[in-house]
């Protein structure tokens, strides 16, 4: 894997995306605790660096497939915060007219194709999208996100095999947050590193610190360039941690206290902000301005979601089949 040094503009763009993800997540949880929103919400707080660093390398043409814990992936790829919030609140103005909710987000105009709730299913879908772009002679790549637990599902192995045989332009991004629901990594996975599984399919397997923006950017750039040039897929294992348990309401009693404390001490968000300042990639005023602009964007998103109407009952029958049921 090559190491790339992104320019200051790109580094600040990564920060902007991480801030959007973090602030949106904090505010969603606040709204849930205050009783203003009710849903099964799988927070990706702690994992924001991964999609932020990948998405600065993508265009709107590139495809994204993600999982229920994928709001961070969708925001980084370009799903507007207003449409996300209205969707989370189940409102008619949401990206899926309030019918998808947090586990079924899509926004195809920015390449945000599917969010799935079935563990492992993002990967075969990504292979289908990759095959479509290959057959059409397009240059787009598909990012397939999934968790560490999903790497033990048959669909992971089938997808890596097929993508390798057909040299599909797919980047498999395993966001290894070290837990699958309440089961710790070593209790459910046979290998020390998921990236080692790439060997079985004769494709590159990159093991990377998913909380390090430059390492993450370098891995993503290496894999994306390989896919765009027709050489085929790459498996990236991005090491990270989820700070808010499996879903909101999970109190995390099964996580050893020292392990949790160490993960929080390595929180990528404040660490990256300090690094940008120390290395003079940006000034405090620049970053404060980004923080404030995003706060205003989330204020607007929340107000829009709260003031929007619920979907009409007739919507239950719409968008289910290619034709409309009378």
Name the minimum Å distance from CB 48 to Mg ion.
15
Is 105 a binding residue for ligand TPP by CB under 6 A? The answer is no
Q: Which of 150, 194, 215, 287: binder of ligand TPP (CB under 6 A)?
A: 150
Residue 311 binds: one of Mg ion, ligand TPP, none (C-beta under 5 to 8 A by kind) = none
Read out DSSP for 73-141?
Answer: HHHHHT--HHHHHHHHTT-TTSTTTTSS-TTS--BGGGTEEEEE-STTTHHHHHHHHHHHHHHTT----
Give 153 or 306: the residue with its C-beta nearer to ligand TPP.
Answer: 153
Taking the C-alpha atoms of residue 49 and residue 211, their distance in angstroms, rounded to an integer, is 6
36 neighbors 29 (Cβ within 8 angstroms): no
Q: Which of 117, 158, 184, 243: binder of ligand TPP (CB under 6 A)?
A: 117
From 48-56, 90-98, 177-185, 251-259, span contacting ligand TPP (CB under 6 A) = 177-185
From 49-57, 144-152, 205-213, 291-299, span contacting ligand TPP (CB under 6 A) = 144-152
Name the minimum Å distance from CB 241 to ligand TPP.
10
Taking the C-alpha atoms of residue 91 and residue 219, their distance in angstroms, rounded to an integer, is 38
Q: Which residues bind Mg ion (CB under 5 A)?
A: 147-148, 177, 180
Is 69 a binding residue for ligand TPP by CB under 6 A? The answer is yes
Give 18 or 238: the residue with its C-beta nearer to ligand TPP.
Answer: 238
Taking the C-alpha atoms of residue 243 and residue 245, their distance in angstroms, rounded to an integer, is 6
Number of residues that bind ligand TPP (CB under 6 A): 13
Taking the C-alpha atoms of residue 212 and residue 6, their distance in angstroms, rounded to an integer, is 13
Q: What residue number has its CB nearest to Mg ion?
A: 147
30 neighbors 228 (Cβ within 8 angstroms): no
Q: Regarding beta strands 179-180 and 183-184, do their DSSP bridges make them parallel or antiparallel, or are they unpaired?
A: antiparallel
Give 10 or 184: the residue with its C-beta nearer to ligand TPP.
Answer: 184
Q: In what order do the strands lie in the sheet with 170-176?
A: 112-116, 63-67, 142-147, 170-176, 234-239, 205-209
Is 119 a binding residue for ligand TPP by CB under 6 A? The answer is yes
Q: Which of 179, 269, 272, 304: binder of ligand TPP (CB under 6 A)?
A: 179
Taking the C-alpha atoms of residue 196 and residue 184, their distance in angstroms, rounded to an integer, is 19
Tokens, residue 278: 């120390």
| DSSP helix/strand/coil, 244 | coil
Tokens, residue 252: 């995390």
Give 149 or 233: the residue with its C-beta nearer to ligand TPP.
Answer: 149
Residue 150 binds: one of Mg ion, ligand TPP, none (C-beta under 5 to 8 A by kind) = ligand TPP
The binding site for ligand TPP (CB under 6 A) comprises 69, 117-120, 147-150, 177, 179-181
């Amino acid at each position: 894997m090559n190491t790339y040094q992104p320019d200051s503009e790109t580094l600040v763009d990564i920060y902007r995306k991480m801030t959007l993800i973090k602030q949106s997540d904090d505010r969603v949880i606040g709204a849930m605790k205050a009783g203003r929103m009710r849903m099964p919400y799988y927070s990706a707080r702690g994992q924001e660096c991964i999609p932020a660093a990948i998405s600065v390398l993508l265009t709107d043409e590139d495809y994204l497939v993600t999982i229920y814990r994928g709001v961070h992936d969708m925001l980084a790829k370009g799903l507007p915060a207003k449409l996300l919030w209205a969707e989370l609140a189940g409102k008619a103005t949401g990206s899926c007219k309030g019918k998808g909710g947090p586990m079924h987000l899509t926004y195809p105009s920015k390449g945000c194709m599917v969010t799935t709730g079935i563990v492992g299913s993002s990967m075969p879908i990504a292979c289908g999208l990759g095959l479509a772009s290959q057959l059409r002679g397009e240059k787009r790549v598909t990012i397939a996100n999934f968790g560490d637990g999903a790497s033990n599902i048959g669909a992971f192995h089938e997808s890596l095999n097929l993508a390798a045989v057909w040299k599909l332009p797919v980047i498999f991004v395993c966001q290894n947050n070290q837990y699958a629901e309440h089961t710790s990594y070593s209790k459910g996975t046979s290998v020390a590193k998921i990236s080692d599984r790439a060997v079985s399919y004769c494709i590159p397997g990159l093991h990377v610190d998913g909380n390090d923006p430059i390492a993450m950017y370098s891995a993503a750039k290496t894999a994306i360039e390989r896919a765009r040039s027709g050489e085929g897929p790459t498996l990236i294992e991005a090491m990270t941690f989820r700070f808010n348990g499996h879903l909101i309401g999970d109190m995390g009693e099964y996580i050893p206290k020292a392990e949790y404390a160490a993960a929080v001490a390595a929180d990528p968000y404040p660490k990256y902000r300090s690094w940008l300042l120390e290395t003079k990639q940006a000034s405090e005023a620049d970053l404060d301005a980004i923080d404030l602009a995003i706060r205003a964007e989330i204020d607007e998103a929340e107000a829009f979601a709260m003031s929007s109407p619920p979907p009409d009952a007739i919507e239950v029958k719409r968008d289910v089949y290619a034709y409309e049921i009378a």
